[in-house]
Amino acid sequence: MLKLLEYLSIFIITTYLLFACNASAPTKLKRPPLRVVFGYFVGEFPGIVAQEKGFFKAQGVDVELIYNRSVQLERANFSAGKYDGISASLGSFIILSSTNPNIQSVMVIDESIGADVVVAQSEIKTVSDLKGKKLGANLGSFSEVFVTEMLKTAKLTNDDVNLVKLEALDIPQRLKNNVIQAGHTWEPHLSEAIKSGGHILFSSKQTLGLILDMIVFRCETIRDRPEDIRAFVRGWLQAAAYWKANVTEGNAIISKALKIPSNTLSLEGVDLTDLAENQKLFQSSNPNSIYKTAKIYTDFFIRSGNMTRIPELKSLFNSSFLNPPS
């Protein structure tokens, strides 16, 4: 009987210790992937390299990338809460913030230094020739500011042309069908327009510093998942550097993932911004900072009626993920 009680005591103690150990080491809940939506501009493609080469995972974050050809749909889905983050041009981000106040930009991913173009029909030889013609642009975004800056070079205003609201992917077909005589676009749509007889009339090489693309996250995601965002930024910068050093391989990875011809992929006209460039751009004391450029867009959108209030620019940019954690 004593032997039985001894065995029973050992069993009870062992069982207690087993459950106590399990209770002290709870199962770590797996966080859902960061869901980030992108467009089809070449500066947004390092994310694909980061995903396919395992850079995000190596940095400690799971990421789900969604690529959408329609900028309008991309923004609508983000506004509806379907994604944690979005890539956006600086101008489009300013507009987006007017209806989504709780968002912040955490990094600049590229500067367009020739990749954004106005492509025109063959008979349009100069910007001056656009007077009285139909010009396609994504109105109410950075696209409208870009074509406005172009018109200024010929002492023209938006009133001197007929602006037609179109997305970049629509430009080649509308140009071919003579719905417009010129329009703002970029690769891979530019190659299509050139094949149909279009030519480059103007490029962002002539508006340096104006067109920047950035990664934007919801403030709740920034609050709840700061380490994941820090890992995302590290993985992205690693991928951008890798692509620049291994262009052919990077192009092949992106071509396969997006099912687009590799000959439409080129880093010409695009500066994939690195960490040092980001840190400078986020410094308000820098004369070429994003704050200065953001004010250009804000002033334009207020004048044009696209925005009704001036946003607090400092609250829109969060540079903490570009510096070592404090």
User: Residue 123 is part of a domain; what is its CATH number?
Assistant: 3.40.190.10
pLDDT beyond 90 at 30? no
Of 129, 92, 261, 240, the C-alpha closest to 190 is 261
- Name the domain count of the chain: 2
Q: Is the pLDDT of residue 54 over 80?
A: yes
77 shares its domain with 90: yes
Q: Are residues 231 and 301 in the same domain?
A: yes
In terms of residue numbers, what domain contains 269?
34-112+210-316
Same domain flag for 219 and 199: no
CA distance 195 to 188: 12
Q: For residue 146, give both structure tokens.
A: 């870009």
Rounded-to-integer distance, Cα 47 and Cα 45, Å: 5
Residue 165 pairs in a beta bridge with 137
Query: Are 221 and 312 within one domain?
Result: yes
Per-residue pLDDT at 326 exceeds 90:
no
Q: Does residue 173 sit in the same domain as residue 87?
A: no
Do 189 and 74 sit in the same domain of this protein? Answer: no
Which DSSP state fits 298?
Answer: H
Q: Is the pLDDT of residue 15 over 70?
A: no
Pick the range with the lowest mean pLDDT from 1-10, 48-57, 78-87, 313-322: 1-10
Closest among 154, 147, 227 to 181, alpha carbons compared: 147
Q: Taking Cα atoms as reference points, which of 69, 95, 46 lies closest to residue 270?
A: 46
Domain contains 189: yes
The rounded distance, in Å, linking the Cα atoms of 42 and 99 is 27
pLDDT at 9 over 60: no
Bridge partners, residue 271, by sequence: 111
Confidence check: pLDDT of 21 > 60: no
CA-closest candidate to residue 269, choices 42, 45, 38, 87: 42
88 and 218 part of one domain:
yes
pLDDT on residue 241? 98
Beta-carbon contacts of residue 293 (< 8 Å; ≥ 6 apart): 90, 209, 210, 212
54 shares its domain with 166 = no
| Cα distance between residue 92 and residue 141, in whole Å | 5
Q: Model confidence at 325, in pLDDT bands (50, 70, 90)?
A: confident
Write out pLDDT tens, residues 116-163.
999 999 999 999 999 999 999 999 899 999 999 999 999 999 999 999
pTM of the model: 0.85
Tens digits of per-residue pLDDT, 73-124? 888 889 999 999 999 999 999 999 999 989 999 999 999 999 999 999 999 9
Distance from C-alpha of 212 to C-alpha of 88, rounded to nearest angstrom: 8
pLDDT tens-digit readout, 226-277: 999 999 999 999 999 999 999 999 999 999 999 999 988 999 999 999 999 9
Chosen domain end from 172, 206, 240: 206
Task: Report helix, strand and coil shares of the chain as percent, to nearest 5.
Answer: 50, 15, 30
Do 308 and 251 share a structural domain?
yes
pLDDT > 60? residue 3: no
One domain for residues 160 and 191: yes
Could you tell me if 79 and 222 lie in one domain?
Answer: yes
Closest CA to 234 of 59, 49, 38, 48: 59
